[in-house]
């Protein structure tokens, strides 16, 4: 007894065990009227224990900006214990104007939380669901597009700064609207019959599907037509490899793409999905969240993506994989290079430029940065910033620039060899841009000579759509 009492007196005090939590994203698309609120409710305290008063209210991505027949994307991040299992849930609609509560009805009963490692940053991503329905592609498209067509509208949604998805333009005013958004390239996936039935009025498309090309030419917009059968998974499978590669080339050149079919629901969505997954390396789940949150009307043909992947990899995959590996190596070399600036003058920021370009060391060839400020030569290559060669295929330069917040500087890279000058040329006829961020150190992405943007820019933007 004495030994037992002694042992009890020296028992350590144990803190109560607390399960660590993780953010889990619940999301769905819904045709609920504007003014209604959606929530997620379930069988655990974090989801309200099936109590409507404690349900987790969701945010609506489009809100008041929706078209009359357009669905919205609803989402909420909920902290759930990592070790918790057996979580069941449903979505509920709180109807506007005191119209009561609508519980979704699903054929299989409640939904179940299944965490499969899909994430964006620290947020675990559940699949994007459709509120209370497993509608077919045809039904889903008709719910949205019939109203758009009847009212003669165009439905345009932005995914990234360079990718828009939407319905077909129905008038020259719609084309002018697309141009006003900064769109420079149109990717049309309508079949020939689609073009004649869902066309730009008054230009002869009813007889000649190609008549619209002249409208884009007159506005300085590039037009790419890739006819694809509607509501046809096999047609999308055949279209995806070429479309994904074409998108990559256009975006690297600086184009802003409008991807459309009839409704902007199936074929045009698939082309963007292929680019995001095949070229940028997003998972299917990440891609689904990036696109659905931007284009809630989207229909996802995961089977077509799966079938098209081998064809894309066999034709273009080696180039994509090699490019990604080289970009990673260039980034490491950029970051490992010691600065050439010993001191930064007051009121300036240190900026690091880097570009992938091969020079011949023995003939005096070099690369310079020329731009719209005196420090970059004021567009005079004789006064431009000379870059340091870090190997035969990579150039780096540091410079102190007056960069107050919001101040913009235009620039380009120029390759010099003897008396010859090779300036970068972009198909959209613009310069590179650098925007000031106050006194912050500015390390620019590694550039490729003659290509305005790299794939990493698009990937970062797409991921930022999911987790800003």
Residues with catalytic function = 261
Question: What gap in Å lies between CA 340 and CA 351, rounded to an integer?
Answer: 11
**Residue 9, CB half-sphere, CA atoms under 13 Å: how many?**
6
Question: What gap in Å lies between CA 401 and CA 349, rounded to an integer?
Answer: 5
Assess contact for 286 and 120: CB atoms under 8 A: yes
What is the DSSP-derived secondary structure letter of residue 364? Answer: T
Question: What gap in Å lies between CA 268 and CA 209, rounded to an integer?
Answer: 18
How big is the chain, counted in residues? 468
- What is the phi/psi pair of residue 27, to 5°? -155, 150
Which residues share a beta bridge with 36? Answer: 34
- Two tokens, residue 8: 């009890």
Question: What gap in Å lies between CA 7 and CA 240, rounded to an integer?
Answer: 71
Of the candidates 363, 358, 324, 334, the one whose C-alpha atom is nearest the C-alpha of residue 446 is 334
Question: What gap in Å lies between CA 202 and CA 92, rounded to an integer?
Answer: 46
**Residue 463, CB half-sphere, CA atoms under 13 Å: how many?**
16
Q: Is 408 helix (H, G, I), strand (E, B) or coil?
A: strand
- What is the phi/psi pair of residue 37, to 5°? -120, 140
Assess contact for 185 and 258: CB atoms under 8 A: yes
Given CA atoms 282, 285, 286, 290 in this order, what sign does their dihedral have?
positive
């Amino acid at each position: 007894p004495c030994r037992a009492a002694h042992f009890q007196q020296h028992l350590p005090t144990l803190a109560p065990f607390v399960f660590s939590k993780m953010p889990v994203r619940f999301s769905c698309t819904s045709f609920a009227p504007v003014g209604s609120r959606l929530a997620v409710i379930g069988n655990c305290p974090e989801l309200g224990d099936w109590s409507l008063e404690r349900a987790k209210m969701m945010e609506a991505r489009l809100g008041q900006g929706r078209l009359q027949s357009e669905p919205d994307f609803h989402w909420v991040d909920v902290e759930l214990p990592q070790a918790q299992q057996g979580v069941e849930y449903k979505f509920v609609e709180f109807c506007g104007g005191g119209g009561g509560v609508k519980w979704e009805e699903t054929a299989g009963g409640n939904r179940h939380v299944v965490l499969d490692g899909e994430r964006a940053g620290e947020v675990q991503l559940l699949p994007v669901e459709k509120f209370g329905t497993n509608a077919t592609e045809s039904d889903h498209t008709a719910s949205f597009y019939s109203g758009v067509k009847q009212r003669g509208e165009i439905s345009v949604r932005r995914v990234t700064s360079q990718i828009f998805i939407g319905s077909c333009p129905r008038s020259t005013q719609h084309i002018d609207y697309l141009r006003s958004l900064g769109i420079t390239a149109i990717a049309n996936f309508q079949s020939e019959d689609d073009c004649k039935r869902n066309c730009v009025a008054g230009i002869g498309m009813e007889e000649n599907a190609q008549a619209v090309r002249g409208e884009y030419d007159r506005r300085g917009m590039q037009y790419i037509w890739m006819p694809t059968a509607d509501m046809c998974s096999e047609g999308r499978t055949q279209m995806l490899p070429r479309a994904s590669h074409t998108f990559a080339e256009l975006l690297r050149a600086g184009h802003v793409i409008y991807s459309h079919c009839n409704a902007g629901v199936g074929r045009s969505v698939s082309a963007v999905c292929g680019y995001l997954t095949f070229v940028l390396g997003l998972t299917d789940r990440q891609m689904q969240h990036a696109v659905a949150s931007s284009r809630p009307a989207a229909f996802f043909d995961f089977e077509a993506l799966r079938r098209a992947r081998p064809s894309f990899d066999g034709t273009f995959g080696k180039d994509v994989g090699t490019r990604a590996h080289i970009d990673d190596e260039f980034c490491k070399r950029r970051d490992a290079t010691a600065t050439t600036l010993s001191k930064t003058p007051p009121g300036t920021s240190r900026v690091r430029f880097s570009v992938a370009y091969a020079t011949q060391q023995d003939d005096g060839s070099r690369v310079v940065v020329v731009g719209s400020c005196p420090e970059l030569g004021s567009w005079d290559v004789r006064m431009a910033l000379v870059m340091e060669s870090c190997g035969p295929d990579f150039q780096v330069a540091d410079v102190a620039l007056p960069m107050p917040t919001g101040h913009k500087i235009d620039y380009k890279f120029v390759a010099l060899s003897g008396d010859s000058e090779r300036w970068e040329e972009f198909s959209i006829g613009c310069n590179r841009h650098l925007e000031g961020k106050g006194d912050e150190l500015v390390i620019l992405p590694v550039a490729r000579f003659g290509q305005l943007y790299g794939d990493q820019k698009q990937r970062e933007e797409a991921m930022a759509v999911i987790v800003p």
